[in-house]
Amino acid sequence: MVLNPVISKLAGKLVVLASASPRRREILTNVGLRFEVVPSWFKETLDKSLFGSPQDYAVETAKQKALEVAKRMPFKHLKTPDIVIGADTVVTVDGLILEKPVDKQDAYRMLSRLNGKEHSVFTGVAIILCHEKEGKNIEYNAVDFYEETRVKFADLSEEMLWEYIHSGEPMDKAGGYGIQALGGMLVEYVHGDFLNVVGFPLNHFCKQLNKIFNGSAGTLAVPVDRTSRTADGGPDRPSRREGTTEAAQASGRAERTQIAAEPERRAGGSTAFPHRIAHLLDGFKASKALFAASALKVFDLLDAGHGLTAVQVAEKIAASVVGVERLLDAAVSLGLLEKVQRGEVAVYRNTEEASRYLISTSDLSLHGYIVHSNDVLWPLFTHLEHGVREGSSQHERAFGKQPQDLFQDAYYSSEERKLRFLDAMHSISKVTAGDVATAFDLSGFRTACDVGGCTGAMAYEFAKAYPGMSITVFDLPAVIELNHHFQPHDQDCSRVTFVAGDFFKDDLPKADLYILARILHDWSDDKVHILLRKLSEACSPGGAVLVSEILLEEGRRGPRRALLQALSMTPGSQRSGSEYCLLLKAHGFSQVHVRHTGNFLDAVLGVRL
């Protein structure tokens, strides 16, 4: 057995598993490893958008879990471990990281995404080696790696999915399933390490221990922290040193040393390179590269699949070859395009993600919203310092005119400009609508009204999710008259109707359920209360309102997208789930539930009893 030579090396050492997972505990116990379990207190709140890949996120989470335990034990448990093992498992599909579901509806959304598809299971593992030095110092060295396993779900019926969910098994499992138990009935095949899907890549872990304790890993373990004990027994401020990264990839696995994400201290005392700040400094360049490629419809040109050279792309968009080549290479570096060498020339082609979201004609295209971001949001944010000083929108400074309300400039202009704005709203709604519609079981409502429903993208998704529901889209006349441009061709739209009106001035259509998607955050508190009062009066007992917004974390620490959106300085504000609960309860919606979807928008359902 790979681990046997290592067990003797670990005799007399304090080995700690920084995880409460019974599956990881069982896997390590079964091979004879003796260890203590000290669950980590690290809150898994790392911003996924800062990581280049799911495996990077899983590895960093594992490292932070292990480091938290390694640093806590000398002061809380009064003993220093020799080795701390941290692990984090994530499931990824369609570019989305799936962790543990928060409830049954969340489990259903996860399993529906996996249904009939192949997905990846990544487990990041960190091994922290703790060394007590002279002067009461403790040095922490890290070896980390990840393992990838490909799993294919069979095509499963709704009945089977819900039967599995009702078993309770999905609730503490990454991706909402446990392959070692009932979840095995969902799986068609597995490519790679089966135990990795269970929660711990034992084979890869054993090989790493062998390198560490049999002489070949001296260059792998890199000091990530050195902490000294103060007179009162607490840790002094740590001094950090940065190591070099060594990566090896083969058969879906990689091992490496870890570089801390925050500014560190080198051995000589100088401050290490500030990676996070550098990332932010270049952020606007990355956004503009995406905007330019979308405006030039580069992703549409590369939709053919066989790829085009920079010269061919330049010819098709009437642009310079040098400029196009630099833009394409930048898009490759951002993970939006692939560059393949064919003989003496290089060709470019879309990544799977670009084909799904960046081609203007794809079902889930964000092209319209990207163009809107370039044409409208970019100019507004170039005057952000004035917005901060004045606490107001910079529309007049950016565009030379001040609209009387938020949407006058978009809705009461040329038809071409209106369509561009509506296309932006439509594209963001199509990407979010499915998760919003299924955030709760709304099948008990027979009629719904999408207040400010714009092009009907949300309404069409509700009609698809609930065959017994009829939905009315209520919006301004200037919007309603153009709805035919956005009607889906592959769906029965007979249960979706459009009614023109102003939701502040006119009576609302009668409905059992009122939908407010991306509405409340735009308006001042006074107008929010006016609208909710109208909805409350329109609702009969048992009626409800579904609010869909980006929900702030408690304490307003995130998500980053919501806090950055607030910098547009509209009269409205971003709110947390608990703030929306209080707001809805103040207007008679006494039963309120909150769901985080993992998409652009979350959902809050308030029922009037």
Question: Which bin fits 307, alpha (ψ -120 to 50), beta or left (φ > 0)?
Answer: left
DSSP state of 473: E
Q: How many residues does the chain have?
A: 609
Q: Is 529 within 8 Å of 503 (Cβ atoms)?
A: no
**Could you tell me the CA-to-CA distances from 541 to 447, 506, 516, 537, 606 in Å, in that order?**
14, 22, 19, 10, 12
Handedness of CA 64, 66, 67, 68 (dihedral sign): positive
Which residues are known catalytic residues?
Answer: 88
- SS3 of 530-588: the string is HHHHHHHHHCCCCCEEEEEECCECCCCCCCHHHHHHHHHCCCCCCCEHHHHHHHHHCCC
Q: Is 456 within 8 Å of 487 (Cβ atoms)?
A: yes
Q: Give residue for tokens 């929010």.
A: 528
Q: Is 262 within 8 Å of 63 (Cβ atoms)?
A: no
Give the list of residues 6+ apart from residue 579 with CB closer than 8 angstroms, or none: 552
- The alpha carbon of residue 362 and the mean position of all alpha carbons in its chain are separated, in whole angstroms, by 21
Give the list of residues 6+ apart from residue 471 with CB closer than 8 angstroms, or none: 447, 448, 449, 450, 459, 462, 463, 495, 496, 497
Other CB atoms closer than 10 Å to residue 10's CB: what's the count? Answer: 17
Amino acid 30 reads N
The two three-digit tokens of residue 179, written as one number = 């392959």
Q: Is 314 within 8 Å of 321 (Cβ atoms)?
A: yes
| The pairing of beta strand 544-549 with beta strand 513-517 | parallel
Q: Is 258 within 8 Å of 144 (Cβ atoms)?
A: yes
